[in-house]
């Protein structure tokens, strides 16, 4: 079995950048998409351009159990899984008191419960194949820092961070490492800036003075999946240009 990375949400942003970065590193890539099959197919063609195999499945995590079906299908098509990147997510902004229960449940279904189902399916497949594996969960700086107007989103990302640590504690002895990447303000479709270089969005109050790019987050994800990070598990790598050093009022993501 070759090296196989499964990534949720590869149409745009961090998912797309991660798919290309894993392909460049010699991985076959399985990816999920939600709204644009055309965009996902373009990513798959780019992956194949590196000489890697690519497979796609549509996945709507508002039905969280669909995640397990998608991961199992991609694993079957590519004959295994070494890495899962839990990237797919939705944003939500509303004050705590104005957050509707339906919105709360939708955000948690997609950003937390769906991630749990995807990870559980990947881990079960890794154990069945008796291969070492890596899970990388994409959380947010809101794993640590509260943001006004982000009750549901922040709760989901905080929960995913804690799930990362519980999984790491349980699975390390079975040869599976679990870590997270917590992006800050990144130029992606969720922020309305897909494809914009980080240097074009200036943030003078931040130590690095700018927003980040999806490629910079993808680099951290691929590194966590590599042997260079072989002694890391249960950790969250913050990729935010130093924003959280300056206080939660600068955190985003």
How would you class 130 by CB atoms within 10 Å of its CB: exposed for 0-12, middle for 13-18, buried for 19 or more? exposed
Residues of the chain falling short of pLDDT 70:
1-2, 189-202, 248-253
Closest CA to 18 of 123, 138, 131: 138
Q: How far apart are CA 248 and CA 180, in angstroms?
A: 19
Each residue of 118-147: pLDDT tens digit?
Answer: 999 999 999 999 888 999 999 999 888 888
The pLDDT of residue 144: 86
| Ramachandran bin of 32, using left for φ above 0, alpha for ψ from -120 to 50, beta for the remaining angles | beta
Please provide the CATH number assigned to the domain covering 4-250.
Answer: 3.40.50.720
The pLDDT of residue 190: 63
CA atoms within 13 A on the CB side of 142: 23
The pLDDT of residue 34: 96
Active-site amino acid positions: 153
Domain regions of the chain by residue span: 4-250
Contact between residue 115 and residue 137 where contact means Cβ atoms under 8 Å apart? yes
Contact between residue 111 and residue 156 where contact means Cβ atoms under 8 Å apart? yes
Is the pTM of the predicted complex or chain greater than 0.85?
yes
The pLDDT of residue 252: 53
The pLDDT of residue 189: 61
The pLDDT of residue 215: 93
Each residue of 13-52: pLDDT tens digit?
Answer: 999 999 999 999 999 999 999 999 999 999 999 999 999 9
């Amino acid at each position: 079995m070759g090296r196989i990375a499964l990534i949720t949400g590869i149409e745009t942003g961090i998912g797309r950048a991660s798919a290309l970065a894993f392909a460049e590193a010699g991985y076959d890539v399985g990816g999920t998409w939600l709204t644009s099959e055309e965009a996902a197919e373009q990513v798959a063609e780019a992956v194949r351009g590196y000489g890697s195999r690519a497979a796609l499945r549509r996945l709507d995590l508002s039905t969280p159990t669909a995640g397990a079906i998608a991961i199992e299908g991609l694993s079957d098509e590519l004959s295994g899984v070494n890495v899962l990147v839990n990237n797919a997510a939705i944003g939500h902004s509303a004050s705590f008191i104005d957050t509707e229960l339906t919105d709360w449940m939708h955000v948690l279904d997609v950003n937390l419960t769906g991630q749990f189902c995807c990870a559980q399916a990947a881990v079960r497949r890794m154990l069945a194949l008796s291969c070492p594996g890596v899970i990388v969960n994409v959380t947010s700086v809101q794993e640590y820092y509260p943001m006004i107007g982000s009750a549901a989103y922040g709760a989901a990302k905080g929960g995913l961070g804690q799930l990362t640590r519980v999984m790491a504690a349980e699975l390390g002895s079975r040869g599976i490492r679990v870590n997270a990447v917590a992006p800050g303000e990144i130029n992606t479709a969720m922020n309305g800036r897909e494809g914009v270089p980080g240097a074009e969005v200036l943030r003078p109050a931040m130590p690095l003075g700018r927003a980040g790019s999806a490629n910079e987050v993808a680099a951290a994800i691929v590194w966590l999946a590599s042997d260079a990070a072989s002694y890391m598990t249960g950790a969250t790598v913050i990729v935010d240009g130093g924003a959280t050093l300056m206080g939660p009022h600068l955190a985003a993501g």
